[in-house]
Amino acid sequence: MSKIGKMPIAIPAGVTVAQDGDVITVKGPKGELQQTIRPEVNVEIKDGVIEFTIQSDDNKHFWGLTRTLVANMITGVTDGYQKKLIVIGVGYDAQVQGQTLKLALGYSHPVNYDLPPAITATTEKNPKGHSIVTLQSPDKQLLGQVAAEIRSKRPPEPYKGKGIRYDYEVVRLKPGKSAK
């Protein structure tokens, strides 16, 4: 039995959940999300609660996953998700112009990243002068994918720590040649 899968999800006020075949649609103040549900998982929506059951114990590993995906959708349309990236390095900078994130990362050319329509980005400077890019979206999976793609443009290097990192990420610096 899945401990996560058998927990019901309460539907908050202002959120509507609809099921059309294998597709669950969640609408809320921050947007609308859809998720395709595997046929092994049964979904029951009644009295402001969503419950999940499985047809047989052979496919119980989809039970908790399905429940978590729907719970993330409900959290996304009510509160939304946010990730912060810090751009560290001399001459490194980030700016948002419309739906394009313009990055100066030490290359001979600027790097432009086109943001999907569901993602909003803002930039600011911290007291040390580093650019902080804040990404927000109701879709947790899309937000994580976009943040990972932006970070991959210049991941933090281990000697000086220059590059793009998550705000919670700790980069352990290696000693250079002079440390013997």
Sorted by where each begins, the domain ranges of the chain are: 9-78, 81-166
- Cα separation, 127 vs 176, in Å, equals 27
- Compute the average pLDDT of residues 153-160: 94
Whether residue 59 is predicted with pLDDT greater than 70 in this model: the reply is no
| Fold entry, domain 81-166 | Outer Surface Protein A; domain 3 (3.90.930)
Q: Greater confidence, 171 or 176?
A: 171
Same fold flag, 9-78 and 81-166? yes
Whether residue 2 is predicted with pLDDT greater than 80 in this model: the reply is no
Contact 33/25 with Cβ under 8 angstroms? yes
| Fold entry, domain 9-78 | Outer Surface Protein A; domain 3 (3.90.930)
In this prediction the pTM is 0.89
141-146 CB contacts, 8 Å cutoff, 24+ apart = 141/72, 142/116, 142/118, 143/81, 143/82, 143/83, 143/119, 144/83, 146/115, 146/116, 146/119
- pLDDT tens per residue across span 15-27: 999 999 899 999 9
